[in-house]
Amino acid sequence: MTDLNPMTDGDVDPAMARPVRSDDCSLDRLTAALEVELDGVAPADVDGARVASLLRKYAAGEDSWRRYALFGDGTYSRNLIWRSRDFELLLLCWKSGQASAIHDHGNQNCWMAVLDGALEEEHFSARDGELKRGRVMTYEAGGVAFIQDEIALHQIRASGGQEGISLHLYSRPIDHCLSFCPESGDSTPIRAGYTSVRGTACAQTDPEAIRRAWVD
């Protein structure tokens, strides 16, 4: 099994993974509002429009995310801000030319709010052992997108030769997903790791270890 973010391996300091509030009250407000909407709610019963509205409001003018903006050289970075049993909130940082694999979302809900720069999203469908290209959309700062496996597979990439930063909300947390080869359509299981936890770079990304530290 490969890593969604292969930058990191090793062990995480358990103290880094404990669910404490951030120092920034605006992120606290967003997280608290998301807890109201998502805690104890099955993914199929989530009010997606309400969640998107919360993310859009945050993306419109907040910059409290900057303390979590760690970039990676070889691949885009996945920086964990908050995790519970019912959702996780990550900041993804994209240098020019960086892109995700074509992937699914493990049957979970995923929202993406672009905070800085611009990102391009391309949809794909897997049919008869082949990948079919779908819609291509560009989101600039303030834009919010939603994806789930019933809609499409997708790929995200930095757009316009500039860096991009996006806030990703997964309901529920995604520890594993499938990556798809664009040529053959074959799928490969991927472990979804982290580049940092609450603003501190970590040398590991074993999701199971972090999951235990956050929810036990």
pLDDT in tens, 87-105: 999 999 999 999 999 999 9
Average pLDDT over residues 127-153: 93
pLDDT of 155 higher than 60: yes
Provide the mean pLDDT of the chain: 84
Q: Report the C-alpha gap between 1 and 13 in whole angstroms.
A: 23
- pLDDT value for 25: 58
pLDDT confidence bin for 206, thresholds 50/70/90: low
pLDDT at position 24, please?
Answer: 54
Q: Decide: 24 and 63 in contact? Cβ < 8 Å.
A: no
Burial class (CB in 10 A: 0-12, 13-18, 19+), 4: buried
Nearest to 190 by CA among 160, 165, 153: 153
Its pTM stands at: 0.84
Domains observed in the chain: 2-215 (2.60.120.10)
The residues, ordered by sequence, that sit 6+ positions from 49 with a Cβ below 8 Å of its Cβ are none
